[in-house]
Every structure is written in C-alpha cells, then in structure tokens.
C-alpha cells in the first residue's frame, strides 16, 4: 500500500493504482485514484459551509440521469466523530453489475465528498481474490480514520 499525506488529507491506497491531484492546496481541490479495470475513487473538497447533503443529492441526480433502473440506498452514519451522509447505488452497465457510493462530511473547515464506482471486478493477489469494492471501502475508511488521527494530533 502507498500513502497519501498532504494538505491535511491522509489515506492509504493500492500501490499499482494511478493517483492524480488537482488544486489540493485550495478549498476546491480533488484527488482521483484509478485502476486498470476502470474502477475509480474521487475525493473532492468544498468550502466549509457547503451542505454535505446537497452535494450527495446532486451527485445522485447526475447518476440517475446517466443510468436507468438504479437501486439506491440512503447512507447516514457517524464514523470517527463525523456525520456522513450519502448514497449507495447499484446498476447494470455494459452487462456488468456496478457499484457506486457517494459519501459527504465536514472536517477541518472543509466539506469533503468521496465518490467511487466499480464493476464487480476482483483483484487477484497471492491466489486470493478481493472485490474492488472492498478495496475502495478500505481507502475511504483509511481517509476517515486518518483524518481523525490527524485531528487529534492538533488538539
């Protein structure tokens, strides 16, 4: 695993994934991770005060316009002292079952949104297979957990 640790953002990610940053030093930056199968994980920053629920609903609207017959489940949880809101989506695309998630929360004077999407691909490693969805969940979990640890170091 590699680590991203810059501009107050920390997370771990698979070493063979491509990472691209855009304007992360600003309040409107983004980071995208992609793998060779087309799965991606995107973190977007918004200025503090941007409503996380509205960001999640806008992303859901875009997805619903793009994909018909999408199953949607609302996501509201508290993890690592953060109130996280968003949606989990399942839909067919190119005859493959696809999974997507949008999670939005406030942290350290910013509103952050994580969006990821994958088909039902597996990562084969040492003869063990892991769904890409689980890898993306682990990246998100490390972001939430890492941020929490950083926050406690400041106090």
Give the chain's domains with CATH numbers. 2-154 (3.40.1000.10)
Contacts 24+ apart (CB under 8 A), 140-143: 140/11, 140/41, 140/101, 140/103, 140/114, 140/116, 142/10, 142/11, 142/12, 142/13, 143/9, 143/10, 143/11, 143/43, 143/114
Per-residue pLDDT of the chain (155 residues; tens, 9 = 90+): 899 998 888 999 999 999 999 998 887 899 999 998 889 999 999 988 899 999 999 999 999 999 888 999 999 999 888 899 999 999 988 778 889 999 999 888 889 999 999 887 655 555 567 788 889 999 999 998 875 444 334 33
Q: What span, in angstroms and rounded, lies between the C-alpha atoms of 52 and 48?
A: 10
41 close to 140: Cβ distance less than 8 angstroms: yes
Q: Give every CB contact of residue 94 below 8 A, 6+ residues apart in sequence.
A: 119
Which residue in 118, 109, 111 sits closest to 86, CA to CA? Answer: 111
């Amino acid at each position: 695993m590699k680590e991203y640790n810059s501009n107050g953002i920390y997370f771990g990610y698979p070493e063979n994934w491509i990472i691209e940053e855009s304007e992360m030093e600003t309040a409107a930056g983004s980071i995208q991770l992609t793998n060779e199968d087309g799965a991606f994980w995107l973190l977007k920053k918004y200025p503090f005060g941007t409503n996380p629920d509205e960001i999640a609903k806008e992303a859901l609207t875009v997805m619903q316009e793009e994909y018909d017959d999408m199953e949607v489940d609302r996501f509201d949880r508290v993890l690592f002292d953060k109130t996280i809101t968003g949606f989990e989506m399942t839909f067919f695309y190119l005859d493959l079952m696809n999974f997507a998630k949008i999670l939005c929360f406030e942290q350290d004077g910013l509103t952050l949104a994580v969006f990821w999407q994958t088909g039902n691909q597996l990562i084969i490693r040492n003869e063990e297979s892991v769904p890409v969805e689980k890898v993306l969940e682990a990246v998100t979990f490390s972001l939430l957990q890492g941020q929490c640890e950083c926050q406690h170091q400041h106090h």
